[in-house]
């Protein structure tokens, strides 16, 4: 086995195993383990609570971790970027529908533009701020906001989660027939938590891969 393969295959193996475990855990958590009471019937999935894990979002932060260097410093950079980017998106969601309600998109566009400027301008503060990670975190919140029905901007799109019966009658405008309709505050929180999970997956994969990667043999004198 060549030196390049010896360096890469252990990381690939660890990433593959962790990707499997994360996918199994996050989907079961969201659709089986932590669902509204009485909604998870045999042979079907349950109605998720407001808090759930977003399978693909963790992969965003995981990839960013390696883009930032794949070390302890990278972990800190992406955690900070996740907080900055997601909080900017949280404020944007709130101000968007206060400025221009459905179906006027300019309210969303206005605040996205303003916060895009702010997120880049923060680079003035120093190299600790990783804008290349902040933008994807900002986008991840918006991706989930759109997928779950644009609550706040679209009237009633977050659904009514007071009971399983109420949900069935009033699912909202989210994905899978409203199954994932989520209020905008929870969209932010779910995304932030899942981004942090991605950072953890990144640092764990790097540390475990380093442990199992064969060390180069010392040169003979």
Q: pLDDT tens for residues 81-124? A: 999 999 999 999 999 989 998 889 999 999 999 999 999 999 99
- Nearby residues of 172 by Cβ (< 8 Å), 6 or more positions away: 149, 151, 156, 157, 158, 159, 160, 178, 181
Q: Is the pTM of this model over 0.85?
A: yes
Based on the number of CB atoms within 10 Å of its own CB, is 189 exposed (0-12), middle (13-18) or buried (19 or more)?
middle
Summarize the confidence of residues 159-177 as an average pLDDT: 66
Across the chain, what does the average pLDDT equal?
A: 90
pLDDT for the residue numbered 221: 47
SS3 48: strand
Q: Give the span between the Cα atoms of 184 and 66, in whole angstroms.
A: 29
**Residue 170 pLDDT class (50, 70, 90 cuts):** low
SS3 9: helix
CB atoms within 10 A of CB 95: 16
Q: Contact, 78 vs 65, CB < 8 A?
A: yes
- Nearby residues of 213 by Cβ (< 8 Å), 6 or more positions away: 6, 7, 10, 11
Q: Give the span between the Cα atoms of 7 and 17, in whole angstroms.
A: 17
Q: What are the E-state strand segments in 48-184?
A: none
Q: Contact, 199 vs 82, CB < 8 A?
A: yes
Q: Give the span between the Cα atoms of 109 and 103, in whole angstroms.
A: 12
Which pLDDT tens digit goes with each residue over 125-166?
A: 998 999 999 999 999 999 999 999 999 898 878 776 555 556
Q: Give the span between the Cα atoms of 31 and 11, in whole angstroms.
A: 30
């Amino acid at each position: 086995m060549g030196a390049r393969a010896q360096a890469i295959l252990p990381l690939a193996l660890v990433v593959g195993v962790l990707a499997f475990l994360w996918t199994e855990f996050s989907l079961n958590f969201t659709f089986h383990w932590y669902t509204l009471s009485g909604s998870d019937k045999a042979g079907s999935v349950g109605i998720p609570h407001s808090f759930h894990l977003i399978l693909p979002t963790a992969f965003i932060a995981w990839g960013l971790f390696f883009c930032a260097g794949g070390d302890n410093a990278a972990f800190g950079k992406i955690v900070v970027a996740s907080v900055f980017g997601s909080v900017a998106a949280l404020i944007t969601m709130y101000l968007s529908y206060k400025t221009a309600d459905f179906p006027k998109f300019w309210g969303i566009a206005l605040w996205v533009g303003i916060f895009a400027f702010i997120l880049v301008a923060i680079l003035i503060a120093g190299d600790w701020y990783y804008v290349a990670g902040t933008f994807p975190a900002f986008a991840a919140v918006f991706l989930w906001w759109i997928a779950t029905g644009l609550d706040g901007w679209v009237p009633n799109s977050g659904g009514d989660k007071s009971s399983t019966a109420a949900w069935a009658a009033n699912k909202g405008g989210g994905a899978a027939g409203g199954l994932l309709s989520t209020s905008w505050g929870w969209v932010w929180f779910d995304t932030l938590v899942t981004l942090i999970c991605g950072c953890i997956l990144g640092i764990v994969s790097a540390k475990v891969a380093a442990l199992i990667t064969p060390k180069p043999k010392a040169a003979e004198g």
